[in-house]
Amino acid sequence: MRVGFIGLGNVAELHATALREIGDGLFAGGWNRTAAKAEHFCARFGGKVYESVDALLDDKSIDAIFVLTGTASHFDFAKRALLAGKHVLLEKPLCERPEQILELAQIARNVSRVCMPSHNYVYAETMRRTRAHIDSGKLGDIYNFWAIYNKRHDASIGEPDLTMRELMIHHAYCMLYFIGRPSHVFTTGSNVHFDDPNADDQLMITAAYPDGKIANLWGSFSADDRSREPWSVYFKVIGSEGSSVIPWDVTRFGEPALPFWDDATYWDSFLQVQTFFVKNCLGNGEKPLSTLEDACDAAILLDAARQSLRERQAIAVQYVL
C-alpha cells in the first residue's frame, strides 16, 4: 500500500505522522501548489515531490490519494483521483455542495473504489464504544446528545462562515453517527473575539428529533476553558438507562504550534481514521463508519443551520436521500 497526498499544508503533517506510525513506506510523496513547500515537506517525511497532480495520479505504484487541499478544490481532485483508479481519503468539509458529495459516491461505486470522508473524530475507540453501547440498548432510549468545543484561535483568522464550515462540521457528523438525523435545527451565533465583526466565533446549534431527542452542538473559537475539567472537546450521550461521556485533554505534550496540537487525542484521531481506511476498508472491504451519504447529510444540516442563523427561526432539514 502506497499513499500520495494532494496538498501538503498543516493537516498533511498530521496525516503523514499517522502514516509513519502505521508502517514504513506508506507515504509515497505528494503535490502542492507551492513547490518550495512540497520540497520541504517531502524532505521531512520522505517521498517524492510530484510536479503536477497528473503526474501523481499517473503513478501506478500509488494505491490511494489523500485530498488535503482547501474545500473548494476537493471535488475536482477527488473525482480525478477516483477516475484514475485510486482510492480516496477526503478531508472535511468534503465539498462546497451536497450534490457534489453524492456525485463522488456514484463515481466511487462505478469504478469500485473507496472514497471515505476523513471524519476522524468518530474513529476514536471511545467514540466507537459509546456507539456500541447505544446500539446494544445498554443506555436505553437516548434523550439528549452534547458536542462541545472551546478553544481560542487567533483573532485574525476570523472570516464569515469559518466557525460553521471548519468546526461545526465535526459536530454534525458526530451527531449523525451517534443518534441519526434530526428533523429541525435552530442556530444562534455571536462575535466576541474575531477581528472581523461579521464573523461569528461562537455558535450554538440545537437539533430536534421527531421522537423528542435534542442535540446541543456548541462551538467556540473565542476562548479556552481553563477550569479543572475543561470542556475543550467534550461529547456526552444521556439515555433512560445510562449515559456516556468522552472528553479530550487526557494526554497533553509540548508547546502547540497550532491550537490543539498539544493534545494527543487530536493526533491519535488521524492515526485511527487512517488505520481504519487502510486496514479495514481497503484491506478487509469494510464500510466506513461515516460514509459519503453521511457527509451529504452533514452538509445539508449545516446549510439548514446557516439558514436558521440568517432567519433566526427553526428550519426543517430537507434531506435528499
User: Tens digit of pLDDT for each residue in 53-77?
Assistant: 999 999 999 999 999 999 999 999 9
In the block, which residue shows the cell 478531508? 91
CATH number for the domain formed by residue range(s) 3-117: 3.40.50.720
Bridge pairing between strands 184-190 and 202-208:
antiparallel
Could you say which DSSP state residue 167 is in? I
Report CA 73 to chain centroid distance, whole Å. 16
In the block, which residue shows the cell 452534547? 146
Question: Residue 111: pLDDT above 90?
Answer: yes
Burial degree of 149 (CB within 10 A; 0-12, 13-18, 19+): buried
Question: What is the mean pLDDT of the segment spanning 235-256?
Answer: 95
Question: Residue 260: pLDDT above 90?
Answer: no
- Alpha-carbon distance of 54 to 264, in angstroms, equals 35
Residue from 79, 92, 68, 82 nearest 7 by CA: 68
pTM surpassing 0.85?
yes
In the block, which residue shows the cell 475507540? 125
Cis omega (within 30 of 0) for bond into 93: yes
AA identity, residue 290? S
Q: What b/e sequence results for 168-183 when a residue is b if at least 16 CB atoms lie within 10 Å of its CB, and e otherwise?
A: bbbbbbbbbbbbeebe
Query: What's the pLDDT band for 2 if we cut at 50, 70, 90?
Result: very high
Residue from 176, 184, 177, 210 nearest 317 by CA: 184
Report CA 209 to chain centroid distance, whole Å. 23
Specify the range with the lowest mean pLDDT, choosing from 44-48, 173-177, 198-202, 305-309: 44-48
The enclosing H or E element of 235 equals strand 233-239
Contacts of 109 (CB under 8 A, 6+ apart): none
Residue 118's pLDDT is 98
Looking at the chain, the domain(s) classified CATH 3.40.50.720 span 3-117
Neighbours of 94 (CB within 10 A): 27
Contact of 223 with 231, CB cutoff 8 Å = no
Question: Residue 16: pLDDT above 90?
Answer: yes
- Alpha-carbon distance of 30 to 43, in angstroms, equals 11
- Alpha-carbon distance of 7 to 2, in angstroms, equals 16
Neighbours of 143 (CB within 10 A): 17
The CATH architecture to which 121-316 belongs is 2-Layer Sandwich (3.30)
Average pLDDT, the chain: 96
Report CA 292 to chain centroid distance, whole Å. 12
Output the nine-digit C-alpha cell for 39: 520540497
Query: What's the pLDDT band for 258 if we cut at 50, 70, 90?
Result: confident
Q: Is 73 in a helix, a strand, or coil?
A: helix
Contacts of 136 (CB under 8 A, 6+ apart): none
